[in-house]
Structure 1
């Protein structure tokens, strides 16, 4: 599939015009900026009416050598410059599939859903990092189309691009995108026991195996058993990835 800057990545959500009713919104960017100051993650506000960014966090890790103002001016051209061709195709596929998914939802529920996926960014120096994007609708038009979205960017806990997931607020359901068939497969979030969550939270606080064992009055080998069970349930191989998965799945 050939992709060039003349194409958009979001053909399923073309907005021809925005009504005055839709434009009459309370100003919210001060709140976004305040939240950005409190988070290590980068925040983007995407405006689908003109395929631009309304806000970009000043976080150099995800700007590929640009300033936030430069990325703001580049808009989606930023991705054409800094995302490898294979991952651009991935973004095109997941956006088509994602907007098809949203279009099938009852309009009143659309803001309850968010999408997560991983892809590479290449800096101007040629170095690649794997990042995670999580998007959720911010404003809908009166016709129910997504007008603006909030995107949070962080380092990915995965090993490769893809990992496309849709989550619903207040639900244990997850929809995973099969990139070959381009179909969504419904599954459930991984579940940890109360004890496993307790152990994981203590790892997040920086406690060692022996310290955790002392705090919950068990042997260190029992903590190692809980850790193995956590890895199995979250399908990871180390505690850093376990914590990242738990956060991404809103388990802790």
Structure 2
């Protein structure tokens, strides 16, 4: 049976924190709290030394009926209560392969990488919601272990759990993990044209095809053409899925 300690890899055991390392964190939660007030996404901070949550935002998406303070107190017990059993095992797998990958990265580059994945939460009403979670290191110890990491959670645009991806800031490569074959695959990051981004940005504001066409001074048929190409590129069926995908993958 899975245990909370299973989420904390022995390869990333954080014991003593030096005064120099602690100085990095002076008032660091202030901008995170400010950002949390401006976004619909849920935000929390993991402390790998304390093996729990240092901060949990008030956004109800992640809280399953609890207050942020209650979830903070629950820590990783929250996952055992609200993540469905198959996806709890998936999270443990992600934890293992993520740290395996992380150990291959040069120490000075480690804070530039983000891992993204999807899993189901059970609501208090007994329903399941598929959420996307992105985890990025905030502070490292002197020997390169993750001390604190920020997680950003939103509704997933995918249809099933998994979808494990790692991306380096400023790099055009994306690493995705094949759960069946148990290996990482490398591919190029999807790039949108300026017109595709423009159409998506107007669409996020609720513009119709005709309104988008008027705003960017083209015909409605031109907008339809670019939308069709966009749907094919992102492998989605409609503009709502395209917006969700582009948002989750920071394409706009």
TM-score with structure 1 setting the length:
0.94
Query: Given the alignment of the two structures, is residue 99 of structure 1 paired with residue 99 of structure 2, yes or no?
Result: yes
Shift of 1:35: 1.2
Equivalence for 1:213: 213
Q: Which residue of 2 aligns with 1:195?
A: 195
- Residue number in structure 1 paired with 2:127: 127
Equivalences for residues 230-245 of structure 1 within 5 A: 230-245=230-245
Matches within 5 A, 1:8-27: 8-11=6-9, 12-25=11-24, 26-27=26-27
What does residue range 37-186 of structure 1 map to in structure 2 within 5 Å? 37-186=37-186
RMSD of Structure 2 on Structure 1 (CA): 1.5
Task: Confirm or deny: 8 A CA contact 1:199 1:223 kept in the other structure.
Answer: yes
Residue 20 of structure 1 and its aligned partner are, at CA, apart by 3.5
Structure 1 moving runs of 4+ over 4 Å: none
SS in 2 for 1:151: strand
CA distance in 1, matches of 2:106, 2:244: 31
The question of whether the paired residues in 1 share the 8 Å contact of 2:140 and 2:148 is answered with: yes
Distance 1:124 1:212, change over 3 A: closer
Q: Give the C-alpha shift of residue 216 in structure 1.
A: 3.3
1:251 is paired with a residue whose SS is coil
> CA separation in 2, counterparts of 1:60 and 1:205?
23
Cα distance change, pair 217–24 in 1 and its aligned pair in 2 (3 A): closer
1:151 and 1:233 map into 2 onto residues whose CA distance is 27
SS of equivalent residue, structure 1 residue 171: coil
In the TM superposition, what whole-angstrom CA distance separates every residue of 1:100-143 from its partner, at most 9, and x where no partner exists? 11111000000111011110111233221111111100000001
Structure-2 separation of matches of 1:214 and 1:237: 24
Task: Please give the alpha-carbon distance, in whole angstroms, between the structure 2 residues aligned to 1:49 and 1:109.
Answer: 21
Displacement of 1:17: 3.1
Structure 2: which 5+ residue stretches go unaligned? none
Task: Mark the CA change 1:196 to 1:180 in structure 2 (over 3 Å): closer, same or farther.
Answer: same
Task: Tell me the distance in 2 between the aligned counterparts of 1:198 and 1:59.
Answer: 29
Q: Is the 8 A contact 1:137 1:146 kept in 2?
A: yes
Taking structure 1 as reference, are residues 193 and 90 closer, same or farther at Cα in structure 2, changes over 3 Å only? same
C-alpha offsets along residues 182-230 of structure 1, whole Å, 9 cap, x if unaligned? 2111111112222222222221222211122233343322211111100
Alignment length (residue pairs): 250
Secondary structure in structure 1 of the residue aligned to 2:7 = coil
Question: In structure 2, how many angstroms separate the alpha carbons of the residues matched to 1:132 and 1:227?
Answer: 24
